[in-house]
Amino acid sequence: MLDNIYLLIQAPLLNVQILLDGLFVGSIFALAAYGLALVWGVMNVKNLAQGDFVIMGGYTAWLLSTWGIHPIFGLPIAMVLMFGFGWVVYVVIIRRVIDKDMFTSLLATFGLALVIQQLLNLAFGPEVQVAESHFAINSFFDGLVTVANIKFISLLLAAGLAAMVVGFMKFSRMGQAIRATAQDARAAKVMGIDTDRIYAFTFSLNAAICGAAGALISMIWVIQPFFGIGHSIRSFVVVTAAGLGNLPGVIIAGLSLGGAELYSGFVFGAELQQFSVVALLVIVLAVRQVQQRRHRQAVK
Amino acid sequence: MTVSTMFLRGLTFGVAAAGLIAVAPAQAKVEGNTIVLGSAISFTGKYSTNGIHAKNGYNLGVKRINEMGGVKVGGKAYKLKIIYYDDESTPLRTAQLAERLIKQDGVKYFLGPYSSATTKALAPITEKYKIPMVEAEGASRSLFNKGYKYIFAVLSTSEQYLASSIALAAEIAKKNGKDPSSVKVAMAFENDPFSLDVRAGVLDDMKKFGMKAVIDDKLPRDLSDMAATLTKVKALRPDLLVISGHSKGAATAARQIAEMKIKVPMIAMTHCEAAKIVQKFGASTNDYLCPTQWAETLSYKGAAFGTAGEYDKLFKKTFKGYKNVPYQSAQATAAVLVWKDAFERANSFDTEKVRVALTKTNMKTFYGNIKFSKGGNNIAKPMVLRQIQNGEFNVVAPSEWASHKVNWPRK
Amino acid sequence: MSIAQQKILLYAVILVLGIGGPLIFPNYTFQISVLWVMILFALTWDILGGQMGYNSLGNIFFFGVGMYTCALVQVGLYTDVSVYTSATGGANLRLTPEEYFIGLGLGAFAGAIVASIFAVIFGWVVFGLRGPYFAIGTLGFTLAAGELVGAWEWVGGGGGIALPVYPGPPDERSLLFNFLCFILAVIAFLTVKWMYAGQFGLAANAIRDDEEKAEAMGIHTLRYKTVGWTIAAFFLGISGAIFGNMVGFIEPLEVAFPTVTFGIFMVVMCLLGGKGTLWGPVVGAALFHIFKEVTWTYMLGWQWVALGALIIILVVFFQQGVMGWLQEKWPSRFGITVDENVVAKKSSEAAQ
């Protein structure tokens, strides 16, 4: 462990590589987490199938790439398909659990996650898949730092998508209606907003965002039917740390999670890389609880 | 507390009991003219890629033997049949399924599961019930030093997987006028029983040459990123990078080694064929060293399948989507051949007689020679090291089997 | 028959089934043992989840702690742990019956104690969390624990530990473990029943209904929550110790801390049977176990899809569970008095 830290000090360029890798993947974590924050904040649904939505998007992009469609063009297709899928899931499942207690949505979406990952496994097999972009890979500093072009592009795409979603929420009628529903569903209803449609749209929008995140993941990382749970947990870590309705917080938390994961993998060894994600979650919760305890309140 | 609630409770337990009985009717070990083999293997979960490779191998073996007239015992020809259960890649299910196979399905002859972890969970049970098991996919040495009498493995044990790559690195260092002890090795092994045993073997071999491990990372189960480990590789510039993590590990590593332009003169990893890395990542995988239990180019030959090359052709014809036949499938087929051979020599279905026959196995197959040590592992067959050269797997070590020269350093 | 007689008859039937089951159906001993473990899972989960409204996704943590503690005691008493667990194969441990049972007994005891201690420590950390944060927090530390044990080389890391072999014939072994599981489940049931009948049950339900008000009334909520969790951990610790020996080979992520299998199953079983009732977890566990075994046999490859679908259907359409449904259907038979006026008023309100 100490010699790894020593290595970082000796070859500071390594920090550039780690930070860049963390940034690239963190931006995708942030994207998926933003979707979670949306459904959590607007409709109080904790979607444990978030990561499986991501993986579904990834498989869509991968499948299209095997048919000769470049994954970057697969991304919008994945978004559209996932939007439709999200609508179906809302109508079949989420609508019925939305007004039940909060644990219900957690369990229902866990069941959904099981179904999705197993069906993906049955359809595509358990092999690790990659949607190849065939873009060039750049080397800097005598090969000590390498960045694939696709990673830059995915970062730009993630940022662009996030900006579009934020713009949509701010300026469109639908976005305003969603925000109104989030603030007070009853009042929104009184004002003539069809909250059921709003919820359906919000959930589908989240699925579409996940689809995009998945397409990006399939290009810069690898996908596999059972990797969903890891992405779900990452989304929960980010949202828990940032809090709901805090977009800058989600972005910062997402990017720092990406960085933290890679740094801990480097310093403590890869065996503790996943540990670091869940450990961060526990630490975040513990810290928030201590803060609340000062006001004699619980973390709700 | 009323009659109706009590009735319901009674009903629940009644249903429970009935359900358990209905789960599976007991069968005999030999039904009519069919010999029933049992296997709990991974169709889902982290080992399922290779679980399915192994299942294909078992099925091809059974199909071929049945086509050739089956197994002849006591002057009568019997067909083979396998009962499968899905162990979900977890030893947690293995123990339950073993009991189900033994007790409820009446299976007396086992084919092994995939992976050392599940085999480790199964071996004590088959041992206790005195059920012989011929296994093809559990390579950990700890299976063969426990004094088990009912386990027979057709494959070479895991410490041999990457041993020849260490020896090769030492050889090359010597040729270049360097001391083998100056070789720096980077290691990345999945945190599971098989890979950890491979790692232990590598460490032993490194000690022999006095080599130094500059990186020793254990990869997590749901591995989707190796960037942190590979960044270290970049900084420390080892002479040899060894990786073992079943199919998932091989695919992830191959992908990121290409993407991060890792320049190491020698890279060795397990499960290249099973992960189909050449199909997936093309030229970037050139000059990887891949240990294999079996290669279709080797000059092995046996009665059922002919030569290794003929098996290769038949397998590709039977199962679609294979560019290279993974050795996991070949050795699974070999395990079925071992059963046939043992039944015929024992000329009986008595498990004890069959077990004795198994201990005396000495056969030549397309998969290589098979002869078991006292512990139960196959000692008649070497591991070979192949290198991916222009998309082809060519044997480069050990020298008595080598068909091509090793490319060094890798570009 | 009077109610008391019926009760006696019911318990007698269960007792006979519990003892007779594996003797009548010797081929199903393992499955019956797992059934008792499942019932214990559901019963102990319901202490917090059903009675107090604290839905933990991390109770399986105590199971793993018990399992590993027991294994380390069993091995550590007679040989060097790090040698035994090394990847190269390690030592070959053959124990006499006396040594084996001493190891198992001490190990199970140690497992229970260590799990209970962890429950007190972790309770202090997580009981300030509510609702989804509690669920996610408990899920988090269980996942973390699995990863951490996996990285701990002294206990074999991801290589796991093969437990000492039982010194006796295999059928005797499975019978023994079956009875241990059965007795443990019965003790857990009686303990839980006794707890719910007294002050603990009232306080627990008060916490579930409104924790702030309960606290305002002078109930030491943290104390009750900790006691409830510690009792659950105690039983889970022992069951982990027994289950580890039943499986024979343990490893951190799949066997000892199976968060997304057993950890979720306990919740689903309680939901199926009916949360917050005494018999609900028992009924739910039995039904769930049968469903699982049947799909695992007849829907090979699709079993997990079926399980996921079952969870969704349960949660979406059948929230109150079997016992809840029965109570709603025939409330008077559960000693619940229904004020027809209130019901009529409510339904007319709903109609409006």
ipTM: 0.86
Q: Where do the domains of chain C lie?
A: 3-319, 320-352
Phi (first) and psi of residue A145, to 5 degrees: -120, 125
Amino acid A86: pLDDT: 95
pLDDT band at C91; cut points 50, 70, 90: low
Distances (CA, A) of A118 to A65, B164, C263: 22, 39, 18
> How confident is residue C344, by pLDDT bands cut at 50, 70 and 90?
low
pLDDT higher than threshold 80 for residue A246: no
Specify the DSSP class assigned to residue A245. Answer: T
On whether any CB of chain C is under 8 Å from the CB of A267, the answer is no
Q: Tell me which chain A residues have a C-beta less than 8 angstroms from the C-beta of B411.
A: none
Contact A229, A32 (CB under 8 A): no
Is the CA virtual torsion C174, C177, C181, C182 positive or negative?
A: positive
Q: Which residue among C27, C258, C296 sits closest to B103, beta carbon to beta carbon?
A: C27
A118/B contact by beta carbon, under 8 A: yes
CB pair distance less than 8 Å for C9 and B140: no
B278 part of contact set with chain A, CB < 8 Å: no
List of chain C residues whose C-beta atoms are within 8 Å of the C-beta of residue A104: 315, 319
Q: Which residue has the higher pLDDT, C229 or C125?
A: C229
**Within a domain: A71:** yes
Structure tokens at C306: 């079926």
C174 Cβ contact partners less than 8 Å away, ≥ 6 residues apart = B99, C22, C29, C30, C33, C246
Nearest to B296 by CA among B285, B283, B282, B310: B310
Phi first, then psi, for residue B304 (nearest 5°) are: -70, -40
Tell me whether A262 touches chain B (CB under 8 Å).
Answer: yes
Q: Does A230 touch chain B (CB under 8 A)?
A: yes
Tokens representing residue B207 in the block: 């000690």
Instruction: Out of B188, B220, B248, name the one closest to residue A128 (CB).
Output: B248
Contacts of C216 in chain A (CB under 8 A): none
* DSSP tag of B400: T
- Which of B80-89, C25-34, C104-113 has the highest average model confidence (pLDDT)? C104-113
Query: Hey, are the CB atoms on C150 and B191 less than 8 Å from each other?
Result: yes
| Chain B nearest CA to A137, separation (Å) | 7
Report the pLDDT value the prediction gives residue C274, as an integer from 0 to 100.
86
| Chain A residues whose beta carbon lies within 8 Å of the beta carbon of residue C215 | none
Q: In this complex, do C87 and B193 lie within 8 Å of one another by their Cβ atoms?
A: yes
Half-sphere exposure of C306 (CA within 13 A, CB side): 14
Neighbours of chain A (3+ CB pairs under 8 A): B, C
Q: Which domain holds residue A115?
A: 2-294
Rounded mean pLDDT of B204-221? 88
Q: Specify if A186 maps to a domain.
A: yes
Smallest Cα distance from A113 to chain B, Å: 14
The per-residue pLDDT for C94 is 79
Q: Does residue A179 sit within a domain?
A: yes
Helix (H, G, I), strand (E, B) or coil at B266: strand
> Is residue B191 within 8 angstroms of chain A, CB to CB?
yes
pLDDT (0 to 100) of residue B20: 46
Task: Give dist(CA C35, CA C42) in Å, integer.
Answer: 11
Mean pLDDT across A112-139: 87
Instruction: Provide, as residue numbers in chain A, all residues whose Cβ is less than 8 Å from the Cβ of C292.
Output: none
Task: Work out the minimum CA distance from C213 to partner chain A, whole angstroms.
Answer: 13
Buried b / exposed e across C123-149, counting CB within 10 Å, b at 16+? beebbbbbbbbbbbbbbbbbbbbbbbb
**Beta-strand pair B212-219/B184-190:** parallel
Beta strands in C161-265 (DSSP E): 161-162, 249-250
Mean pLDDT in chain C? 86
Q: Quick one: average pLDDT of A8-21?
A: 84
- Looking at residue B381, its pLDDT comes to 87
The 10s digit of each residue's pLDDT in C165-181 is: 888 888 888 889 999 99
Residues of chain A with pLDDT > 90, as a percent, come to 38
Residue B235 scores a pLDDT above 90 = no
The 8-class DSSP code of residue A129 comes to: B
> Could you tell me the domains of chain B?
30-156+297-371 (3.40.50.2300), 160-292+384-397 (3.40.50.2300)
Please check the confidence at residue C230 and state whether its pLDDT lies above 80: yes
The pLDDT of B361-387, averaged and rounded, is 90
- Residue A115: list chain B partners with CB under 8 A: none
The reply to whether A299 falls in a domain is no
C129 and A299 within 8 Å at the Cβ level: the answer is yes
Tell me if A300 is assigned to some domain.
Answer: no
- Which tens digit of pLDDT belongs to each residue from B286-302? 899 999 998 888 888 88
CB-CB under 8 Å, B121 with C248: yes
Average of per-residue pLDDT values in chain A: 88
Minimum-distance CB partner of A93 among C125, C264, C312: C312
Q: Mean pLDDT over residues A271-284, rounded? A: 85
B273 close to B292: Cβ distance less than 8 angstroms: yes
- CB contacts of B129 in chain C (<8 Å) are 170
C33, C176, C290, C325: best to mutate for the B interface, most B CBs within 10 A: C290
Q: Which helix (H) or strand (E) holds C329?
A: helix C321-329
Higher pLDDT residue, A209 or C14?
Answer: A209
User: Do the chains contact at A289 and C128, CB–CB below 8 Å?
Assistant: yes
Give the closest residue to C33 by CA, choosing from C256, C165, C182.
C182
The pLDDT of C271-298, averaged and rounded, is 88
Average of per-residue pLDDT across C242-264: 88
Number of domains in chain A: 1
Task: State mean pLDDT over C322-335.
Answer: 77
Asked if B252 and A126 come within 8 Å (Cβ–Cβ), the reply is no
Is the separation of the CB atoms in A258 and A22 below 8 Å?
yes
Q: Which of C193, C246, C247 should be substituted to probe chain B, the one whose Cβ sees the most B Cβ atoms within 10 Å?
A: C247
What are the pLDDT digits (tens) for C24-66? 887 788 888 999 999 999 999 999 988 998 889 899 999 999 9
Distance (Å) from the alpha carbon of C63 to chain B's nearest alpha carbon: 13
Tell me what the mean pLDDT of segment C200-227 comes to. 90
CA distance B390 to C191: 69
Give the chain A residue nearest B237 (alpha carbons): A144
pLDDT band at B3 (very low <50, low <70, confident <90, very high): very low
Nearest CB to A17; choose among B49, B231, B248:
B231
pLDDT of residue C119: 95
What CATH number does residue A154 fall under? 1.10.3470
Neighboring chain C residues of A46 at a CB cutoff of 8 Å: 132, 136
B105 shares contact with chain A (CB less than 8 Å):
no
The residue among B390, B283, B304 whose CA lies nearest residue B68 is: B304
- Taking the alpha carbons at both ends of chain B, their separation in whole angstroms is 79
Which pLDDT value is given to residue B23? 43
B275/A4 touch (CB, cutoff 8 Å), yes or no: no
Name the pTM for this structure. 0.88
Cα–Cα distance, C226 to A35 (Å, whole number): 35
pLDDT of residue B90 exceeding 90:
no
pLDDT, residue C261, reads 85
Is residue A141 situated within a structural domain?
yes
Please give the pLDDT value at position C238: 96
